[in-house]
Amino acid sequence: MKPLPALLAALTLSANAPAAEPREVAPAADPFAWPAVTRESRPWSYWWWLGSAVDTTNLTRELTRYREAGWGGVHIIPIYGAKGWEERYLDYLSPAWLAMLRHTIQEGNRLDLGVDMTTGTGWCFGGPGVTDREANAVVVAKTFEMAAGGRLTERFDPASTQALMAFGSAGDTHNLKGRLTPDGRLDWTAPDGDWRIYVVSQKPSGRKVKRAAPGGGGHMLNLFHEPAMVNYLKVFTEAFADPEQARPRSMYHDSYEYVSNWSPDLFAAFARRRGYRLEDELPALFSAEGTERAARVQCDLRETLSDLLIEGALPRWVEWCHSRGMRTRNQAHGSPGNLLDLYALADIPETEMFHLDRNRLVSKLASSAAHVTGRRLVSAETGTWLKEHFTETLADMKYLVDDLFLSGVNHVFYHGTCYSPDEAPWPGWLFYASYEMNPRNPVWRDVPALNASIARCQSVLQSGAPDADVLLYWPIHEVWQRTGSLEQKFTVHARDWLEEQPFGRAADRLWQSGFDFDYVSDRQLGTARVADGRLRLPGGDYRVVVVPRCRLLPPDTLRGLLALATSGATIVFEESLPTDVPGWGRLDQRRQEFKTLLARSTLASLGDSGLQAADLGRGRVLVGRILDALAAARIDREPLVDHAGLWFARRRSVDGWHYFLANRGETTFDGWLPLARPSASVVVMDPMTGRTGRGRLRTPVGGSPVSVSLRLHPGESVILRAFERALPQEGPAWQVLDPAGAASDITGEWTVRFLEGGPELPAAITTGHPGSWTDLGDDDAQRFAGTAVYSVRFDAPRATAGQDRWMLDLGDVRQSARVRLNGRELATLLVPPYTVPAEGLRPKDNALEIEVTGVAANRIRDLDRRGVAWRTFHDINFVNLDYKPFDASDWPVTPSGLLGPVRLIPVRERSAR
């Protein structure tokens, strides 16, 4: 059990946007049935077109395979090409390319597959039409020291010089831009004193479109400069001008990897927003010293850059898409702007987890933006660098998807898949940062089982509405107001902006304690209203706002929080009230406003709670420890998190709640699972098998929550459908099977027969026990990647009186298994424990067949040991997890197949207790 304070035990779119499916659904006629699966509830995938060397025949083949495996759609990203295929390359947005897009969308509609595309090639936005002025840019600040009587001899381009200022040792400031002659000379002589001259311009940062496709190379765009986006979209306007040109469901913008901190009109934009001239504060702006003035000026610059992203170029892109009937997906992370506002710009905010950078609280920024603003879908780039190539299993992917679901995602996009023509030799065309989720990867055989599980989960998680009680405010100025790089990026990789801040620590405390919450920004708080004591935002209702410990708070935000309290809301400040305002502009005036606002809250001790409180109108302000304040506000937590590794995502439905539960710990949960929401009936739903049943409940006693009997092994996940009303008695019961005796090994002569894979099918093997086919077979088996069936005939163990139920335990499986007993399909098993009820077991002469599929590692190892040239791609070609040239020749042989032991375990249904 996690140590928790004793307190916890006592705590019980725009008008033109394309129409989305309704957020609410009517109560299901059958409470035991899964919602209908749609193309949006099935998983989608990034789909890289290498060199855009695609043709209609292979496009249709590939799309058909994807649909048969259970996909819902694809996301087209043209990138660099494969060597030797140059004659087939198509230039991006050329008539031939647009014809392939049209064919793809038409075939997708026929197959019930959606299609998205990037507004460009590779990543990020940019291309051949982006001029130096429109390119992502960095500031160039030259300084010159000068004594009295001195003159500058260097010449400067009047057209590109944005500021030319002189700062004297006595505090004098001179704006010299008007003294610059047409030929670039500065017509100015330094007066008395010592002077420092600043000459400010910008230059393209040099960052080009990464992994660009033919016809798509060039500068990345400057997203701080709205005219750059307007010009950038002109080529797309032309491409989609033909009404017969099919259009994707959504356009996409990848994570922010621009190198940019400046724009041509930054000084004017800054003055409009911050109320003073940045030119007059150049010494502070470019100061390397950690002075308060420098920190405040740099804070104002960072807020201005954020405003330009939120109010300028990206909204133009969204409006352009909406006006043409397309939705938008946006990865805001990596940018220097307020991520909550940037995610909220898109119809579908998108997060990502990257290799070991898998903080659910980071991904929760995207889902929070969706929840607060009323977006139904939250997508995720899923599987980027999950593990080293060709070693990634379906279990690995399943665990990652569970983490994403826990963070609020409900629309996963595998990362991903390459279009590959059938003419390309194995392993086909590949992308270096991909899971290689494609029909050539042997794991593809059992991908349909994973896709079906994801589709079931997402059919639930895309319905209903968010159900968080708490809004956690992000005091972003605490990060902005510090000296350093002008552009502070909020990435999924370096996460000190979250994890090392009180904001992140507060989020983690809420998460660990079982409180459901969404983040909220300053702008989003401004849209909140209060009704019946609840905070109402476009996406849902909340009960309390928590302001984590912070020193700085904008006066407008403080004013808004106090107004919400006056209208009946509860506002919590962690430990103490803020003490100052951020930024430099009108500092004295804003400080006085701030002081006046604080004076409205007269705090007094609230009993022995350790809190201070102030009543304001119909609401109140609480100051103190967050958990104490939530107890005082009567906010319930989910005590199920007290079991280490057990986490949840919860949504409101029209007749109760949906819980997604995942055991991400190392021990099995087996017992009574408490639910904070008042539930009269609970249906347990297993997304991996589709099995559902009425859960056995323990009624509350003495104020404790209702509990459901459940067993959840590490790596497993379930949906709980909790109803406010009691269900009729009809319907299956959820069965929990307990061991009823000792396990018995299945013995006999095992046959291992290879079904599909390569480089060739090894000869069949006969053995006295299961084991890795790499140990049982010859050299062909050691380099084989694919599927083999392990079969045996056996008699059932002698049963005791009344014993007629058995569990089949496969032991160690590398990596997934389809199980048949006496010709009856029992299950496809992707994660341990590899167990399944042995339905149809006979006393004598049972036929057990276990089809085991492994990863591609041994086949790739063989190619590299033989020096076969399969890494034949332009640009970065194909690299390993450390971005070094990939080479598997020194890998050890990877165990593959059914390692066992395979056993039968007598079981009985758990009795009511």
pLDDT of residue 912: 53
Q: What is the pLDDT of residues 403-461, one digit of tens each?
A: 999 999 999 999 999 999 999 999 999 999 999 999 999 999 999 999 999 999 999 99
Cis upstream peptide for 550 (omega within 30°): no
Q: What is the pLDDT of residues 319-351, one digit of tens each?
A: 999 999 999 999 999 999 999 999 999 999 999
pLDDT band for 4, please (50, 70, 90 cuts): very low
Average pLDDT over residues 873-889: 97
542 is written with which tokens? 């909340």
806-809 and 765-767 beta bridge pairing? unpaired
CB environment 402-425: b (16+ within 10 A), e (fewer): bbbbbbbbbbbbbbbbbbbbeebe
CB environment 522-539: b (16+ within 10 A), e (fewer): bebbeebebeeebbebeb
Is residue 612 over pLDDT 80?
yes
Distance CA 226, CA 733 (A): 59
Sign of CA dihedral 73, 538, 535, 503: positive
pLDDT of residue 913: 47
Q: What is the pLDDT of residues 578-592, one digit of tens each?
A: 999 999 999 999 999
Q: Choose among 229, 213, 212: nearest CA to 221.
A: 229
Supply the mean pLDDT for the chain. Answer: 95
pLDDT of residue 337: 97
- Supply the angle between the helices 447-461 and 394-406 in degrees, to the nearest 10: 10
Distance CA 775, CA 782 (A): 8
Distance CA 341, CA 369 (A): 7
Q: Choose among 55, 97, 51: nearest CA to 236.
A: 97
Q: What percent of the chain has pLDDT over 70?
A: 96
798 is written with which tokens? 């002698």
Identify whether the C-beta of residue 667 lies closer than 8 Å to the C-beta of residue 698. Answer: no
168: helix, coil or strand?
strand
Q: What is the pLDDT of residues 57-102, one digit of tens each?
A: 999 999 999 999 999 999 999 999 999 999 999 999 999 999 999 9
25 is written with which tokens? 């659904």
pLDDT band for 5, please (50, 70, 90 cuts): very low
Flag the least confident range among 232-241, 530-539, 602-611, 833-842: 602-611
176 is written with which tokens? 């010299």
221 is written with which tokens? 């765009």
Angle (CA) 464-469-474 rounded to 5° is 110
Give the count of beta carbons closer than 10 Å to the beta carbon of residue 131.
12
Residue pointed to by tokens 């000459």: 199
Helices first, then strands: H and E counts in the chain: 23, 44
137-146 and 195-204 beta bridge pairing? antiparallel
Q: Choose among 873, 869, 870: nearest CA to 80.
A: 873
Average pLDDT over residues 552-577: 98
Q: What is the pLDDT of residues 641-677, one digit of tens each?
A: 999 999 999 999 999 999 999 999 999 999 999 999 9
pLDDT of residue 13: 36
Q: What is the pLDDT of residues 351-393, one digit of tens each?
A: 999 999 999 999 999 999 999 999 999 999 999 999 999 999 9
Is residue 251 over pLDDT 90?
yes
CA 230 centroid distance within chain: 28
Q: What is the pTM of this model?
A: 0.96
CB environment 181-219: b (16+ within 10 A), e (fewer): eeeebbebebeeeebebbbbbbebbebbbbbbbbbbbbb
pLDDT of residue 801: 66
pLDDT of residue 3: 34
pLDDT higher for 11 or 311? 311
218: helix, coil or strand?
coil
Average pLDDT over residues 519-533: 97
pLDDT of residue 601: 87
672 is written with which tokens? 């009574």
619-624 and 611-616 beta bridge pairing? antiparallel
Is residue 489 over pLDDT 90?
yes
pLDDT of residue 568: 97
Distance CA 400, CA 383 (A): 7
Identify whether the C-beta of residue 190 lies closer than 8 Å to the C-beta of residue 143. Answer: no
pLDDT band for 518, please (50, 70, 90 cuts): very high
Distance CA 318, CA 15 (A): 12
- Supply the angle between the helices 587-598 and 555-566 in degrees, to the nearest 10: 20
CB environment 789-814: b (16+ within 10 A), e (fewer): bbbbebebbeeeeeeebbbbbbbbbb
Is residue 703 over pLDDT 90?
no
Is residue 851 over pLDDT 50?
yes
Q: What is the pLDDT of residues 208-238, one digit of tens each?
A: 999 999 999 999 999 999 999 999 999 999 9
Give the count of beta carbons closer than 10 Å to the beta carbon of residue 642.
18
pLDDT of residue 110: 98
Give the count of beta carbons closer than 10 Å to the beta carbon of residue 336.
24
